[in-house]
Structure 1
Amino acid sequence: MLRPLGRRPWTCRQCLLQRQTRRTFESAASQLPRSPLDSVPANNSAPNKNLDDETLRRVFDSQHFWKDFSQQRSAAVPKRAGLVQNQYLTSPDGFREFAHASLQKCQAIVSKVLGASTVDEYRSLARDLDRLSDLLCRVIDLSDFIRTIHHDPKIQEAATQAYALMFEYMNVLNTTTGLHEQLSKALSNPEVTSHWSEAEKIVAQILMKDFTTSAIHMPPSERQRFVNLSNDISQVGSSFFNGAEPARSQVTFNANSLQGLDPIVVQQIKRWNNKAPVPTMGVIPRLVLRSVRDESVRKQVYLATRTSSSRQVHRLEKLLMKRAELAQISGFNSFADMTLSDKMAKTPEAVSNFLTSLIANNRGPVQEELSQLQQLKGSSLKPWDHAFYVHKRVLEYSQSRRSRELSIVPEFFSLGTVMQGLSRLFDRLYGVRLVPQETAAGETWHPDVRRLDVVDESDRHIAVVYCDLFSRPTKHPNPAHFTLRCSREISAEEIAECASMDQSAHPNDGMATAVDPKTKTLRQLPTIALVCDFQEPVTNGSGRPTLLSEQSVRTLFHEMGHAVHSILGQTPLQSISGTRCATDFAELPSVLMESFATAPEVLSLYARHWKTGEPLSESMMHSMEMDRTAHGSIYGAVENEAQILMALVDQAYHSIPSKEATSGIDTTAIYHKVFSQHSSLPDPDDVRPQTSWQGFFGHLYGYGATYYSYIFDRAIANKLWQDVFQSGRASVDRAAGERYKNEVLRWGGGRNGWQCVAGVLGDSNPSNANGRLVEGGDEAMREVGRWGLGRDGISG
């Protein structure tokens, strides 16, 4: 249940692999009654709504305004606050105190659970275990985040120690068989389960599944074997992920044969004898494939960059065999069967149905794109030609059709206006908005971090979002969403327990809380960190703010899609709040948000010239749409197919029956079989034996058997955008927003994903005829494949 192999606190797909895979008694977050030092939400009454809206833009666009705004509270309250309002974290030593205090609470809950014997005591068990998970993750999630984001080595070290202490305890709980036995007794007693809410039943089932897949029910010898295999998988997987290497480090050519490549690049790699060794990793080989006119050069570079070293292939095959062995001792036919059992897909067969249906849906557009490239070449198109002729078409398009208007589009996307647009969109769709809030000294990990409070239409404070959006030297560039603390109800017993301990103690460690007006229950509010890597506004007197490209705008909308899931998915228990849902459902809100970013109705809410205030014209919106459509028609379908093929390879590797896989796996043969069956541009027969691209597929470690998830959610998002939001015509419609919020977002992981999809589409939707979707299964997966991915393409 607490093992480091299962579900993770969700971050965006691009950044998920930054963090080591770990598991259960999962991450959470907490918040409660406030001391005088706690941040109080800004006054959000109606007369100030416009002022808050303008302030939101200025805190991101003007460094001078931000400096004055951020110093107001620090000057008024000189005493130092804790990081993210956590009352313990006012100094490095506070991490140790925070961890030990949380550990003592955990131990008390474990004793209570192990000692349960009456029906009433068993009835509280699901909530007790959920709180245990919350306590563990209060420390693990926050410490893990701070140790990677903070600039102070002392705080990094203190956070790492707190993380290690709690993570070690979590592993101890993974071997505490009594917790599993008590949960089994509770689940098997109708007098207990009939008293549980639906949320309690779901959490109990999740925890039981985690216990089962961590071998806690096995005899000691088998359990030790499971632990050893898990450790081996972690080590081998990490080596595979970090060890990608080609069989050859470079391919040498005469410099004269590199015509078309940027002369500056040629000069960088050229040697005294006019030889030019082209490296087989990094940016240069990609430039060669898209620029060099000599097809024979492109062919050699293509083959070299798609041929892994033998030792890297061996690492992969070792990883797959150990995963198969792990599944075998756990009683599953394959690793995919084990991994998918708690996902929407459920089975490898269902994933295969989805992918093959999707690739058939995508086949026509792929053939159309390849046909146009073949006409451009004038002869048979080869895999090493694709990047070259795509680049050629893009250049031709840019020279002939690309409007001058597009070059100035970023001037209408200052970071502040985009944040303003997000707030206005959320207000119209869901009745919540973003309000800048001054922070106390010590509350944030860097002076650039802005705090936003999320408030609803009744002016209730419902969440806290810390925005760390500007680049700095030591900061990781990948965009990410982090849930530092989840939403959940705080019981009266917890409040009493806290009051009896210490007058200054806070049931949510000082972090944000609010009373639910309906239930009168105290809630810990979700606390979220959004991290991006945008350039800071200039301070040279021009007043020029941070200007975002269209792609950066979509990235920010994507991350805010995760955030709004955390904000609105406020369930009673933290184990199912916000983004704590099935892995193959977690990207749906973020992917769908990308469609909102540039919908004309949404652009009209916010896109304004940073200097003049002039709105983005309809002709510019049309030019943006034409540009996206043109680029999608050049390479979007082929890019989609590449992702589908990778998902098929992932399934093929992990669906091999365990008994077969443990005796050996030929990953190269399987890779070529998948591509020869499904690829529209496979390697020709004469070069196929030379390539072994699978060694570069690092996501096979972090996404083993689940690589399909992102394109699965993209297919669902594409359908919801078309049918619920009417392809953008209802993108700011409150009825559509409420429908999506009530059927999808508010449930977090407390509702089956298929029920969410069926609910938001409605019974009258042809795709949901006769309840086709609500139960999931093979046919439902095949139906989602028929919906397709659109033509935008997917970044790998």
Structure 2
Amino acid sequence: MDHLSLNPALVKWRGHHGLPQFDQVKDEDFATGFEAALAAHEAEIDAIADHPDEPSFDNTVVAMEVAGDELSRVSALFWNKAGAHTNENIQALEREIAPKMSRHYSKIGMNAALFSRIDRLWETRKDLDLTLEQERVLERHWKGFVRAGAKLPKEQQERLAKINETLAGLGANFGQNVLGDEKAWSLKLTDEADLDGLPPFLLDAMQSAARERGEDGGYMVTLSRSIIEPFLTFSTRRELREQAFRAWIARGANGGERNNLEIVRETLALRAEKAKLLGYENFAAFKLDNTMAKTPETVNELLRSVWDKARRKALEEEASLAGLIAEEGGNHPVMPWDWRHYAEKLRERMFDFSESELKPYLQLEKIIEACFDVANRLFGVTAVEVKNVPAYHPDVRVFEIRDEQGDLKALFLGDYFARSSKRSGAWMSSFQAQHKLPLKSGLQGELPIIYNVCNFAKPAEGKPALLSLDDARTLFHEFGHGLHGMLSDVTYPSVSGTSVARDFVELPSQLYEHWLTVPEILTKYAVHYQTGEPMPKALLDKVLAARTFNAGFATVEFTSSALVDMAFHTREPADSPMDVQEAVLQELGMPQSIVMRHATPHFQHVFSGDGYSAGYYSYMWSEVLDADAFAAFEESGNAFDPVMARKLKNNIYSVGGSIDPEDTYKAFRGKLPDPGAMLKKKGLAMAEQLMGSDA
């Protein structure tokens, strides 16, 4: 590696307990950093492939596990910046780096000498006396090579590499276009009448949004979910709700240079071609081969079963909302920009509380404390905030995660507030994954450095950040992912933490959400931001009673998105993906009052990279698992039952991908679940068993 031109802060992390020194890294360092790190990794791979000795697990697999440490570090810093605090320079480099990284890994995947060594180990694996974890690591590498085209003829390998390179560039552009549309649109409100119905917490957030965008006065509606959703909920100005809603669902479909429709068309065509090259009927079959679900048929069976029940429930909900509109003298049907507004009114009528009444009890600071307290009660870890440690943005907070003996287990960074330099949504990622292997730097293993990114509305100066119940669930969800990374206790990096099957990765996060609404947690941490008084028991009881309210709407929003995702990746590519979306929704009988949670032009899970392509269903698959898993605690009579908590930690949160997910779930629960517990949690009807031992 050319250390003369490389900023050492990119690869030698000497901050607090090995944290990157973010304040010493500049945007212009990344181009040189990638160039040097890619070259170093290529040299390491060539040395492994050309090793003079016969292949062994150590000289081939372990060597590959620790190769590319510098590239991992440069990449972790860069992709964090690209997602959480980007700018035009970073975006330009992202468009260049994404295809370059794809070319790099395609070259490794098609290195015949290297694959020959892996293949020989795979063929003789029964004679190698491997541990279960080592078998899983070897299998991951071997399958990775095969799925990268290692067994294809040279000409097809070259075509596959070109497809992957093009897809990487398309994914980068897709995400940037969505962010561009989100940044470009805003609705400034200055007339007092335009603010009718908006509660103080939302006015504060809209005022802060206006200031962030350079406006001294007035209130601004933006396309940040933490502003747009409450605006659609509380605004009495129907024409403004419609205007904001249409902008929200048009992200990525506004034409011009940020138009994502052509990107989607090309992406789907290339994915279909890739799957055929690798011997699969379609891209969904290719993606699902390494999951618990295994086949598109199994996924569609689950989704269709839930869809029918959710649609019936949603139509009942729609009829109730139509009744409210008629009561007010309205003569219009329930439209998508009406749903949240009238659902809030209906909830207030049915359960005698509103979101605005609940929000003063859900302070961000207290919900963070609740997250940490649950982790302490379940897993014995404690979070200690460290002040005055530079992070990648002034809003980011740094915590040490320590075990019962006080030993450092992980570093955790929390990035909670929306900003225009951050892509929408919420996610967990890592700067460094846990493992126990020696590195050439002299380190023996690595501490996990995990971060959560959210997009909560930033409050006005001196005021606390107040969350909705959905926001609070999001915080718990992402910290559940974080714990999956921080509690990891494996030897090999490739099976660390969240390196599990896509339809298993959401289990630790969705399961963790359940503890938010455990009464003793809400009672302790849901305290009024002004008085410090706990949420009144009457209000708490109403919140718990209303958990399945609006379930038809939420499930239709999600399931329609998942079914469209599956259709895109099982059907022959079409000239107009939007025609496919429309056809699927018509076949389903999609209510006109509800839209997909993620319409195709801004469906970042599926098109901003291929992480959840043919995989958006996995949230529901994991929900089947998480509902059944939490039922184990309910059956024990103690939400913090120490025996179940120990089994949960040892079999789910700490083993990463070192054990087959079916085996590890059965080790925790004793069996695989069916959707019954999930449907019961949602307030939907029971369904016949879909997930068995062959799922």
Normalised by the length of structure 1, the TM-score is 0.66
Provide the residue aligned with 2:509 in structure 1. Answer: 590
Q: Does 1:733 align with 2:682?
A: no
CA RMSD of superposed structures (Å): 4.9
| Equivalent residues, number | 621
Provide the residue aligned with 1:196 in structure 2. Answer: 130
Cα pair 1:140 1:163 within 8 Å, conserved: no
Cα pair 2:433 2:449 within 8 Å, conserved: yes
Q: Does 1:111 align with 2:47?
A: yes
Match of 1:132 among 64, 67, 84: 67
Distance change >3 Å, CA 639–CA 290, structure 1 → 2: farther
Provide the residue aligned with 1:675 in structure 2. Answer: 585
Provide the residue aligned with 1:456 in structure 2. Answer: 403
Q: Does 1:643 align with 2:558?
A: yes
Cα pair 1:240 1:698 within 8 Å, conserved: yes
Alignment of 1:14-53 (within 5 A): 39=16
Distance 1:231 1:591 in 2: 33
Distance change >3 Å, CA 292–CA 94, structure 1 → 2: closer
Distance 2:442 2:24 in 1: 12
Q: Does 1:701 align with 2:612?
A: no
Cα pair 1:596 1:728 within 8 Å, conserved: no
Q: Does 1:218 align with 2:152?
A: yes
Q: Does 1:84 align with 2:84?
A: no
**1:113-169 alpha-carbon deviations (Å, 9 max, x no partner):** 4315336x3454221111125553233122322455568999999999999987764
Structure 2 gaps of 5+ residues are 1-9, 179-192, 199-222, 594-598, 685-695
Cα pair 1:421 1:602 within 8 Å, conserved: yes
Provide the residue aligned with 2:412 in structure 1. Answer: 465
Cα pair 2:385 2:400 within 8 Å, conserved: yes
Match of 1:621 among 536, 540, 560: 540
Distance change >3 Å, CA 572–CA 697, structure 1 → 2: closer
Q: Does 1:758 align with 2:666?
A: yes
Cα pair 1:724 1:760 within 8 Å, conserved: no
Please report how far the alpha carbon of residue 100 of structure 1 lies from its aligned counterpart in structure 2 after TM superposition. 4.0
Distance change >3 Å, CA 329–CA 470, structure 1 → 2: closer
Please report how far the alpha carbon of residue 646 of structure 1 lies from its aligned counterpart in structure 2 after TM superposition. 2.4
Please report how far the alpha carbon of residue 224 of structure 1 lies from its aligned counterpart in structure 2 after TM superposition. 1.6
Please report how far the alpha carbon of residue 418 of structure 1 lies from its aligned counterpart in structure 2 after TM superposition. 2.4
Match of 2:282 among 324, 334, 345: 334
Letter in 2 for 1:337: A
Match of 1:523 among 431, 439, 445: 445
Match of 2:442 among 469, 494, 507: 507
Structure 1 gaps of 5+ residues are 1-28, 41-81, 245-259, 266-280, 499-505, 509-521, 684-692, 774-782
Distance 1:761 1:433 in 2: 26
Distance 1:725 1:592 in 2: 11
Cα pair 1:130 1:203 within 8 Å, conserved: no
**1:11-36 alpha-carbon deviations (Å, 9 max, x no partner):** xxxxxxxxxxxxxxxxxx9999xxxx
Distance change >3 Å, CA 179–CA 539, structure 1 → 2: same
Distance change >3 Å, CA 118–CA 733, structure 1 → 2: same
Please report how far the alpha carbon of residue 533 of structure 1 lies from its aligned counterpart in structure 2 after TM superposition. 4.2
**1:79-104 alpha-carbon deviations (Å, 9 max, x no partner):** xxx86269996997699579747854
Distance 1:452 1:429 in 2: 19
**1:701-749 alpha-carbon deviations (Å, 9 max, x no partner):** 243311211222223222323x123199633332232222222111112
Provide the residue aligned with 1:511 in structure 2. Answer: none
Q: Secondary structure at the match of 1:434?
A: strand
Match of 2:657 among 749, 762, 768: 749
Distance change >3 Å, CA 124–CA 340, structure 1 → 2: same
Cα pair 1:355 1:785 within 8 Å, conserved: no
Provide the residue aligned with 1:425 in structure 2. Answer: 374
Distance 2:530 2:252 in 1: 51
Q: Secondary structure at the match of 1:724?
A: helix
Please report how far the alpha carbon of residue 604 of structure 1 lies from its aligned counterpart in structure 2 after TM superposition. 3.4
Letter in 2 for 1:230: N
Please report how far the alpha carbon of residue 579 of structure 1 lies from its aligned counterpart in structure 2 after TM superposition. 1.0
Cα pair 2:437 2:492 within 8 Å, conserved: no
Distance 2:274 2:38 in 1: 32
Distance change >3 Å, CA 790–CA 680, structure 1 → 2: farther
Distance change >3 Å, CA 675–CA 417, structure 1 → 2: closer
Please report how far the alpha carbon of residue 527 of structure 1 lies from its aligned counterpart in structure 2 after TM superposition. 0.4
Distance 1:165 1:680 in 2: 41
Letter in 2 for 1:523: G
Between the two structures, name the one with larger relative contact order (CA 8 Å, sep ≥ 6). Answer: 1
Please report how far the alpha carbon of residue 452 of structure 1 lies from its aligned counterpart in structure 2 after TM superposition. 1.0
Letter in 2 for 1:344: M
Provide the residue aligned with 1:67 in structure 2. Answer: none
Please report how far the alpha carbon of residue 362 of structure 1 lies from its aligned counterpart in structure 2 after TM superposition. 3.4
Cα pair 2:488 2:655 within 8 Å, conserved: yes
Distance change >3 Å, CA 161–CA 319, structure 1 → 2: closer
Distance 1:309 1:156 in 2: 20
Distance 1:115 1:242 in 2: 42
Distance change >3 Å, CA 134–CA 238, structure 1 → 2: closer
Distance 1:750 1:165 in 2: 30
Match of 1:398 among 348, 354, 368: 348
Q: Which structure's CA Rg is the greater one?
A: 1
Please report how far the alpha carbon of residue 318 of structure 1 lies from its aligned counterpart in structure 2 after TM superposition. 4.1
Distance 1:30 1:312 in 2: 35
